[in-house]
Amino acid sequence: MSPSNGKNSNLVCVFCASHDSPDSSYNDAADILGKELASAGYGLVYGGGSRGLMGRVARAVDNNSGDVLGVMPRALTRLEGTTQVGRHILVDSMHERKSIMNDNAMAFIALPGGYGTFEELLEIVTWCHEDTEDPTELIAKAIHEVWRKNCGLETCIKTVTEDKDWVLKNGSKCDIQATAYEDLPSDWKCKSISLAKIVIEIVSKTHNTVSASEQLYDVWYSSGCSKVKKIAFEELSHEQQESFISIIRLAMSFML
């Protein structure tokens, strides 16, 4: 089954243990993750169990009004327990379980677990690498999202042309901050692609996420994409730093 990676979904897939950990910090992390996902407007797709870290994440999402979709093989219902929250799907095999989870997920997170958690995570990484979409294009889209959504970094909308608006094919105006990557004018897309190629080059030379993110910040700023005075990377807010770090992590995922 060829996965779609849930690009139109707001569900995040979480792989984790079907039992509680003797380390209470792991259990707390599962509770916190579920709460934060729901608070940020995301739902959950997971293995469908009611026990352990699995059950904790699901209940935390549900308790905070988030959408929960559990996918459980029939043979594991006694071992892992069937979810009592949200929606659930019973399937006949582990492969079908992973396929459905993949098809409904926009992103993946792994919490502590055993061999099953590792196997699920590694298989989904393999599936993502088999995706036919160009990694450069994916990174360019991520860069555009930094410009489009991160007000703290002040989107530069006059770098490519002198006017902030472009006329699209249908005759309407294009405002970069409100425009999806696919609908951008070709000159702005080229700029994002050029930066994406630089990101790949940076990542190929360093495996340190923070160092690579600092280099990306320097390149981004020197390209004229900020109207504010430059400050050191470590002085940026946590959200601003994470914008650059997320792009670096995306690039690194294609170079495993």
Model pLDDT for residues 5-44, shown as the tens digit of each residue: 434 568 999 998 888 887 888 899 999 999 999 998 999 9
Of 129, 149, 166, which residue sits at a domain end? 129
Can you give the pLDDT at residue 3? Answer: 34
Whether 60 and 104 map to the same domain: the answer is yes
Whether 142 and 122 map to the same domain: the answer is no
Q: Which of 18-27, 46-55, 158-167 has the lowest mean pLDDT?
A: 158-167
Mean pLDDT of the chain, nearest integer? 76
Can you give the pLDDT at residue 129? Answer: 57
DSSP string, the chain: ----TTTT--EEEEE--SS--SSHHHHHHHHHHHHHHHHTT-EEEE--BSSHHHHHHHHHHHHTT--EEEEEEGGGHHHH-B--SSEEEEESSHHHHHHHHHHH-SEEEE-S--HHHHHHHHHHHHHHHT--S-HHHHHHHHHHHHHHH-GGG----SSSSSSSEEE-TTS-EEEGGG--GGGS-HHHHHHHHHHHHHHHHHHHH---HHHHHHHHHHHHHHTT--SSPP--GGGS-HHHHHHHHHHHHHHHHTT-
Can you give the pLDDT at residue 130? Answer: 53
Domain-embedded: residue 5: no
Q: CATH no. for residue 119?
A: 3.40.50.450
**Domain that residue 35 falls in:** 11-129
Can you give the pLDDT at residue 148? Answer: 64
Model pLDDT for residues 209-220, shown as the tens digit of each residue: 889 889 988 887
* Count of structural domains within the chain: 2
